[in-house]
Chains A and B, each alone.
Chain A
Amino acid sequence: MLDFNTNHKALLLTAFGVFAVLSIGVAIIPAFQLDSYQPLPDQPELTDTEFEGLHVFIGEGCVACHTQQVRNIEMDAMWGDRPSIPEDYVYSKKRLDIWRQSASLLGSERTGPDLTNVGVRQPGAAWQLLHLYNPRAVSEESIMPSFPWLFEEVDSTSVREDDVVVAVPSQFLDNPSKKIVASEEAMQLVAYLQSLKQPKMPENSEPEFIPFSKIKEAAGGGSASASKGLDGEKLFMNKCSACHQANGKGVPGAFPPLAGSETVNNEDPEKMIRIILEGYNEMEGYGPMQAFADQLTDAEVAAIMNYERNSWGNEAPEVKEEDVKKVRDSKL
C-alpha cells in the first residue's frame, strides 16, 4: 500500500498527514497554550488612542527595525528591568481588526533600539514628535526615516488652539515661516509609544537575566559600588544624549544646551540634582524634562553630573553620591 514510488495518492496523503501532525505538535498546540495568558495585576490595558497608535505603528512597518522583546540574557538588560514574559503581550497582541491579525511585535531585527520600555526611557511627547518629524533633529547619526506625512505644515496664523505644534529647529524646515502641527495619527502613535512600559511584577517573582558575567568580572574587578567605577559618559549617552545631544548643545527650540549652561556650571549642584531627579518645566522656549529619580541611582546621577560638569568646556566642582542622596531625601 505504501509504495510511494507508484502510488501518488499514498505519497501525497502521507506527506500531508505527517506534516499536519508535526505542525499541530510544534505550532498549533503551543500557540493555543500561549494564547490564554492572564495580564499582570498592575498591567494597564491599551486605551483606544493607544490601540489606534498601534495600528499606525504596524501600518508604517516600524516592526521591521524595532523589536519589542527583552531577551533573558544580560546584554538585553539595557532595554528593560527584566526579561519579557508572555503576560507582557496580553493587551498589545490582540487581533487588530477583522482584516489584520495580532501584531507581530517581537520582531527579528534591531536596526533601531528595542521599544519594550521606550515609554520609560523617552516619555516626553515633544521629543517623540520631533523625532518622528525628523529623527536627525535629535539624533544626528540616526538612519530612521522621517514621517512628515504624519504632520501638517500650516501658516502660523492658522494654528488652532488645540493643535500640537512641534518645535522643529529651522534647518529642518522646508519653509521656515510655517508651523509643524502633529496630526491625529502622530498623536496616537506617540500615545502608543508612551504606553510602552514594562509592567511591574509582583514582588520577588521577576525572572532573571542569564548572566554573561566573565567579561564583566574581569573588567569590573568587583568594585561595583563607588561612583568612580561608573562610566559617566556611557550613562550620559544612554540616558541623556537623546535630548541634550552628545555634544551637549541640545536642540534649539526643543531641548536646552548643557554646554555653558548656568545651572550645570553652578558651584552649588543642588538645582541641577533636583532637575534630574524631579524633572523640570520652567525654561522658556523649551519642552519639559522628565524625572529620573526612579531610573537612576544616586551614584549614577553623580557620575552623569560629573561628566556633564567637566565636558564641552564646562568647569564645575565634583558632585558626590552623598550630595545627590541629600537632595533625594530632602524631597521625600
Chain B
Amino acid sequence: MSLFMKNSKIYFLSTVLLLLSFVGNAQNSQMTKDWETSPGIIGTVVLVIIVLFVAVVIFLAKLNAYLDRLKQKKLNQDRMAFSDELVSLDNDEIDSILENRKKALNYKLKGDELGSLNKAVDKKGLVKRVRKDPNNSFFDEKKKTPLSIETPKELKQIVTYYLAAATFWLVFGTLVGEYLGLKFIWPELDKISFLSFGRLRPVHTNTVFWGWASLAMIGLGYFVIARTSNTKIYSYAKAKIAWILINATVLLGNIALMSGINNGGGEYREYIWPIMLLFAIGLILTLYNFYKTVATRKIKEIYISNWFILAALVWTIVLSVIGYLPFYQNGMGETVIQGYYMHQGVGMWFMTFTLGLVYYYLPATLNKPIYSYSLGVLAFWTQMLFYTMIGTHHFVFSPLPWWLQTVAIVFSAGMFIPVIAGSTNFLMTMRGAWNHISKSYVLPFFLVGVIFYFVGSSQGSFQAFRFTNFVWHFTDFNVAHSHMTMYGIICFLLWGCIYTIVPKLNGKEPSQLLVGGHFWLAFIGLFAYMISLMYGGTLRGLSWMEGNPFMESVTLMQPYWVWRAVGGTLMFISHLVFAYNFYYMVKKEPEKSTKRNGGTEIIKGESVTV
C-alpha cells in the first residue's frame, strides 16, 4: 500500500506538470481560431462524457436489478400456480402424499448423506431460502442493521433539526431558482418589486448556500464529530443557539434582499454585515462546540473527517471576516476580495466540509475503512494550499494585476492534486462494492457526487485557462459550472450522507422507489440543465467573439433557457420528493415508538419480507 502511495504521488506530480504545460499552451493558442481544439474545451468535453458514461453504468446496473426482480416475480407466480395445483388434488393423491410424509417423518439418517453421490433432496422441507450468491446479500443485511452504539436522544434531535431546516431551505431556495429560470423565458411573469429578478437571484444563491447546504453540513457534522470522537457533544445548547442564528441569518437576509437592501451586489456577500454577523457568530459557536468535543475525545487519534470539518469552520470564519472588513475595499480592492471570497466560500466551506463528511459516511455505508488515510491527509493540505490562491480566476482579463490573474490560473491547474487525491480515495474505497450500486439507494448518490467532484472541479480548472475564459466568461456557462459543482458535488454527497444516517437514527427507511425517483429526477434534471447552458453559453461566447449585435446572443439563448427550465423543474420536483422522504424518515409514529426499544426485532422482521 505504501508503495502504491509513493507511486501515486509521483503520478500526481507528473500530471500537474503536464497540466501546467497546458496552461502555457492555452495562452499561446489564444490567438488561433481553432477554438475547438484548445485543451480547456477538449478537457471539458471529455469530462462531460465521463459523467454520461457513469450515468449509463448506474442505469444499466439498476436495469439489471429490475430484470432480476421481474424474474423473481415470475418464479413466485410459478410457485403460486404450484400451490393452486396442490389445492385441487383429489383424496387418493392426498393420501399417498400423506403416507410419504409419514415415511419421511420416520426417516433416520444413514450417515452417508453428505458424503455420498446421492442427489440432494430436501425431503424434510428444511430449506427456506437458497442463496446462490452470498456476496450480494451483504448489502441488504448491512443497511438493515441499526446503529450498535447508543445515539443520545439530544444528538438525534440536533441532527434532525438541522437537517429539517436545511430541507426546508432547499425547497424554498430552489423554488426561487425555478421561478428565476422561468423568468428567462417569460420576463413579465410578475411586476412585483420584491419578486423581481435582480432581487430574487441573490435570495436563491444565499438560501441554498447558507440555508440548505450549510445547515445540512453542520447537522451531519454533529453526528460525525460525536461518533468519531467516541464521546458526546460538548454543548447541545450551543448547537441550538447556532441553529437559531443561522436560520435567522437566512430569513432576515432574504427579507432584506427582497426589499432592496443589498450589501453591494458581490456574489454570496449580498447580506449586509449586521445580518451576516449572526451567521459568523453561529459558525464560531459551532467551531467552539466541535473543537471542545474533539478535545475531549476518548480515542487518541483525530479522524480525518474532523480535520476537514474543523478546518472548514476555521477557514470560513477567517474568510467572512476578511470579506466584510472595510479597510481595503475601495476601488479594485473590493474586486480582489470578491474573487477571493466567492471562490473560497465554495472551496473552503462547502467543499472542505462536505469532503470531511464523505470521509466518514462513505466508509460507514460500505462498512469498510477508507482506502488510504494518507491520501486524505495529502488532499487536506493541498486543498488549503491551492484553493486559497485561485479566487482571481473569476476576473481574468479584468483590470486586476496580470500577475494575480496568472497566479490564480496556475494554482487552478494545481487543484488537480487535491481533486485527484480525493476522488481516487473515494473511488478506491468503493472498489469491490460496485455490485452494491444496484442494491443500494445510497451509493448512487455518493458515486455521482464523487464523479462530479472529479469532473466539476477539473472542468473548473480548465475554465480558468485564458483561452477558455475568452469563450466562456460572462456567459451562461458559468451558471452551468456552478450548478455542476454546488449541485452535482455538494448536494448529491449531502443527500448520500442524509440517506445513510437518518434511517439509522430513526430506524425507518424511505421507500426505495421514492429515493430512486429523487435520484433520477435530480440527476437527469442536472444533466439537462448543465448541457443546455454549456452548449448555449459556448454559442453565446462565439457570437460575442464574432462581434454580432448583443441582442442576437440573447435570442440564440432562448431554446437553451427553455431546456434549462425543464432541467430545473425536474431538479425542483426531486427536492419535493426528497422532502417527503425526509419527512417519512423522521416522522414520529406513536404506535411504533413505544416498541422502539425492541427495535432490532422489528427490523429483523422486516428484513425477512424483503
Contact = CB atoms under 8 A, between A and B. Distances in A.
A69 B197 contact: no
B196 A60 contact: yes
B544 A75 contact: yes
Interface string B336-379: 11101000000010000000000000000000000000000100
Given A61-B198, A89-B331, A6 B302 contact: yes
A102 B384 CA distance: 28
Contact of A102 (B310, B330, B389, B475): B330
Contacts of B187: 135-136, 142-146
Contacts of B327: 32
A148 B31 CA distance: 45
Interface stretch (B1-9, B122-130, B390-398): B390-398
B262 A100 contact: yes
B300 A6 contact: yes
B436 interface: no
Interface in B255-303: 257, 260-267, 269, 272-274, 291, 294-295, 300-302
A8 B397 contact: no
A93 B329 CA distance: 8
A4 B306 CA distance: 11
B398 A8 contact: no
A106 B302 CA distance: 43
A100 B263 contact: yes
Interface stretch (A18-26, A42-50, A162-170, A303-311): A18-26
A109 B266 contact: no
B198 A234 contact: no
Given A15-B315, A141-B554, A34 B336 contact: yes
B301 A95 contact: no
A37 B331 contact: yes
Given A26-B391, A61-B199, A61-B202, A234 B549 contact: yes
A66 B192 CA distance: 21
Contact of B478 (A5, A18, A63, A109): A109
B340 A104 contact: no
27 contacts: A8-B295, A12-B310, A15-B384, A22-B388, A26-B389, A27-B322, A27-B340, A28-B328, A32-B333, A35-B330, A61-B262, A63-B265, A69-B398, A71-B473, A73-B397, A84-B399, A86-B399, A93-B332, A101-B266, A107-B265, A142-B551, A143-B187, A149-B193, A214-B31, A214-B33, A215-B33, A234-B549
A277 to B, nearest CB: 22
Q: Closest 10 A-B residue pairs measured CB to CB? A: A61-B198, A104-B266, A110-B474, A71-B397, A63-B265, A59-B260, A237-B549, A35-B333, A34-B332, A31-B333
A177 B135 CA distance: 79
B202 A102 contact: no
B198 A62 contact: yes
Contacts of A238: 549-550
B183 interface: yes
B509 interface: no
Contacts of A67: 474
B421 to A, nearest CB: 17
Interface stretch (B236-244, B245-253, B400-408): B400-408
A28 B319 CA distance: 11
A104 B197 contact: no
Contact of B264 (A103, A142, A145): A103
B545 A100 contact: no
Contact of A101 (B193, B199, B331, B334): B334
B291 A12 contact: yes
A272 interface: no
Contact of B310 (A15, A63, A88, A213): A15
Contacts of B192: 149
Interface residues of A, number: 89
B307 interface: yes
A201 interface: no
A15 B322 contact: no
Contacts of B337: 27, 31
Interface in B452-466: none
A106 to B, nearest CB: 5
B598 interface: no
A100 B334 CA distance: 12
Given A139-B551, A147-B196, 11 more contacts: A15-B314, A36-B331, A60-B198, A61-B196, A69-B398, A89-B331, A102-B264, A108-B474, A145-B198, A215-B545, A234-B547
A221 interface: no
Nearest to A20: B318
A26 B33 contact: no
B64 interface: no
A104 B338 contact: yes
A11 interface: yes
A199 to B, nearest CB: 13
Interface in B436-477: 470, 473-476
B33 A11 contact: no
Contact of A64 (B201, B264, B314): B201
A243 to B, nearest CB: 13
A5 B264 contact: no
Given A12-B310, A108-B478, A93 B388 contact: no
B568 to A, nearest CB: 16
Interface residues of B, number: 96
Given A30-B404, A63-B265, A101-B326, A37 B332 contact: yes
A94 interface: yes
B399 A104 contact: no
Interface string B104-135: 00000000000000000000000000000000
- Indicate the member of A8, A142, A237, A246 with the most B CB atoms within 10 Å: A8
A176 B500 CA distance: 60
A85 interface: yes
A154 interface: no
B264 A101 contact: yes
A8 B291 contact: yes
B589 interface: no
B311 interface: yes
A102 B331 contact: yes
Nearest to A239: B549
Contact of B389 (A22, A62, A211): A22
A26 B388 contact: yes
A209 B260 CA distance: 37
A113 interface: yes
A23 B340 contact: yes
Given A15-B311, A58-B264, A214-B33, A35 B331 contact: yes
Contacts of B329: 31, 35, 95, 101-102
Contacts of B188: 136, 146
A96 interface: yes
B191 interface: yes
B211 to A, nearest CB: 19
B91 interface: no
B335 interface: yes
B184 interface: yes
B548 interface: yes
Contact of B184 (A5, A63, A143, A146): A143
Nearest to A9: B295
Contact of B554 (A61, A143, A237): A143
Interface string A127-166: 0000000011001011111111100000000000000000
B161 interface: no
Contacts of B262: 58-59, 61, 100
A61 B201 contact: yes
A38 B327 CA distance: 17
Contacts of B183: 143, 145
- Indicate the member of A18, A83, A101, A238 with the most B CB atoms within 10 Å: A101
B385 interface: yes
A78 interface: yes
